[in-house]
A and B are shown apart, each in its own frame.
Chain A
């Protein structure tokens, strides 16, 4: 038999691979390339002290949930050399790429020595850096960004020092994104008094307002001061240069420690100077193999541009999950002249921006497009907001979660989802991400055969219930109004004189007991059981006098009155709408997700 070895082809021509950046995507690419082509000489240049660290774990190191700094380090340079035969040079800052000569120039920041590294293939994994505006006081001591283990260490020391001195640390987080909120939680759990300031009108960019509001309310319940629509303009320090005050557009805050977390931007200086093309997001433009416009040069991780799976538009999602996938593919493609794989692969260039975060007792997750994203991209979007349990209601420990689905009305294709609550959200968001990846419709989602047993799910899982509510809406069985739209309507009506004809009549159809736990301001209480009796009165089978006042008032309303029906989660309001339609009230709307999802304050 004349079996040729598939691997180890010295004639391949690709002998040297240089990787710039050794955190997530860079080390993944280097290790994968070496496995693909064991003859390849692989060198990783990392300007920092550590490689392969878990950047996403830093907030938990600040809070002490991850106790040891070494726990964050996935692998050491020595491991890489010993286990993989990869040369890792830390404290090596690449400062120029000579694309013609195929050489990277780097400086050893410890010895000051300058070195040149020849390559056949180059992978750029320079990551992203925090966006920090040059405002007064930004350089003061105890004003941090969180990108590297050393940042986390400094923040933790400040927390520990305050703890040792039995002093309540006053911490300020600027930016209401995931990292900011995770650190806010960790510092609060550590005993600090924490304020979050967000410039936009909501925290959690990328999520819709009502979902962000639920998280915001939860953070307030946990003692975090959340300020939106507010911008930090400057800081003031004491004589030793430690930050003591923050000046916002609305107030002055006393602070001992500041985390500046208003997002990151791709670190592309090196690539740009080498003539490598950037995309409209400012990140490096790559093809499905993560190759740049310069042949033989690849870009992966937070410095590279992805595309949104649903719109096809250039996207920038600096996420560890995406970075690792990119690294793997680029490592395979860069390792040899011609790619040897025969398996049917799909490029991870197209992403959904799926993400999840724990915020105190809640978790919040998203995938695909938010309602805001969908409208921006001119989709004719329909949404539902459906509270449900994460497992059987009779099984101890079950919790509520609220699922929001966004669907393209004409095609009924899923566009995205957001899930929030104290229960399990990561499983359902992954189910929906899977459906989105395969181009699923809402009907597909409703029909998926999901695992069920009481400790894990409801017989009809929360995801399927949400899909079914969406099917009801799409088929015209139900008309809804979202909490955001209702809030907007109520605010508009506030400015108008009393008894305005456009004012909707809001009916809370829950029992009196539940009504007393709080409702949408202005709603009256007519329990569903009374609404069911209305038809007897209309038919003459019962006397109007048997009805409570509010129900009598409802019966006398013109039939074209806009009725907004409210219950706890939306189900009884839907039943009430069906009853009222039979009585001729055709303009009935159900408050999506009921009072559970109405995050704008109950009375």
Chain B
């Protein structure tokens, strides 16, 4: 299992979710992806994306000016 960090700060939508999707395609099951984004829309997107792709959302923190999501690839 490895931890993959994805920086998606300052990326306009749909940047962050596309980066996550790409990282997830490369990752192996059990890998953890930690992604940081400033796009406020990312919060809702990541929840919906995890649900649809059946990946596990371990953590979702909104720091006001940026969002950090931690996902386990299933």
Chain A interface (Cβ < 8 Å from any Cβ of B): 393-394, 396-400, 422, 510-514, 516-518, 568, 596, 602
**A516 lies within 8 A of B52 (CB):** yes
**A398 lies within 8 A of B40 (CB):** yes
Contact of B65 among A397, A422, A513 (CB under 8 A): A397
| Complex CA distance for A451 and B61, rounded to whole angstroms | 33
**B52 lies within 8 A of A518 (CB):** yes
**B40 lies within 8 A of A422 (CB):** yes
Q: Which residues of B contact A422 (CB under 8 A)?
A: 40
B12 at the interface (CB under 8 A from A): yes
Chain A nearest CB, measured from B57 CB (Å): 13
**B18 lies within 8 A of A513 (CB):** yes
Chain B nearest CB, measured from A92 CB (Å): 51
**B48 lies within 8 A of A517 (CB):** yes
**B17 lies within 8 A of A400 (CB):** no
**A517 lies within 8 A of B38 (CB):** no
Q: Which 7 A-B pairs have the closest CB atoms?
A: A513-B21, A396-B65, A517-B48, A517-B45, A516-B52, A393-B12, A518-B48
Contact of B40 among A400, A568, A602 (CB under 8 A): A400
Q: Which residues of B contact A396 (CB under 8 A)?
A: 38, 65-66
Contact of A517 among B10, B22, B49, B64 (CB under 8 A): B49
| Complex CA distance for A518 and B14, rounded to whole angstroms | 13
**B21 lies within 8 A of A511 (CB):** yes
Contact of A514 among B14, B22, B64, B65 (CB under 8 A): B14
Contact of A516 among B12, B39, B48 (CB under 8 A): B48
Chain B interface (Cβ < 8 Å from any Cβ of A): 10, 12-14, 17-18, 20-22, 38-41, 44-46, 48-49, 52-53, 64-66
| Complex CA distance for A297 and B20, rounded to whole angstroms | 69
**B44 lies within 8 A of A517 (CB):** yes
Q: Which residues of A contact B10 (CB under 8 A)?
A: 393-394
Chain B residue with Cβ nearest A387? B41
Known contacts A396-B38, A511-B18, A568-B14; A516/B65 CB under 8 A: no
Interface pairs (22), CB distance under 8 Å: A393-B12, A394-B10, A394-B38, A396-B38, A396-B66, A399-B40, A400-B40, A400-B41, A511-B14, A511-B18, A513-B17, A513-B18, A513-B21, A513-B22, A514-B45, A516-B21, A516-B48, A516-B49, A517-B45, A517-B46, A568-B14, A596-B41
| Complex CA distance for A185 and B53, rounded to whole angstroms | 34
Q: Which residues of B contact A518 (CB under 8 A)?
A: 48, 52
| Complex CA distance for A399 and B39, rounded to whole angstroms | 8
Q: Which residues of A contact B66 (CB under 8 A)?
A: 396
Q: Which residues of A contact B38 (CB under 8 A)?
A: 394, 396, 398
**B64 lies within 8 A of A397 (CB):** yes
Q: Which residues of B contact A512 (CB under 8 A)?
A: 21
Chain B nearest CB, measured from A531 CB (Å): 16
**A510 lies within 8 A of B41 (CB):** no
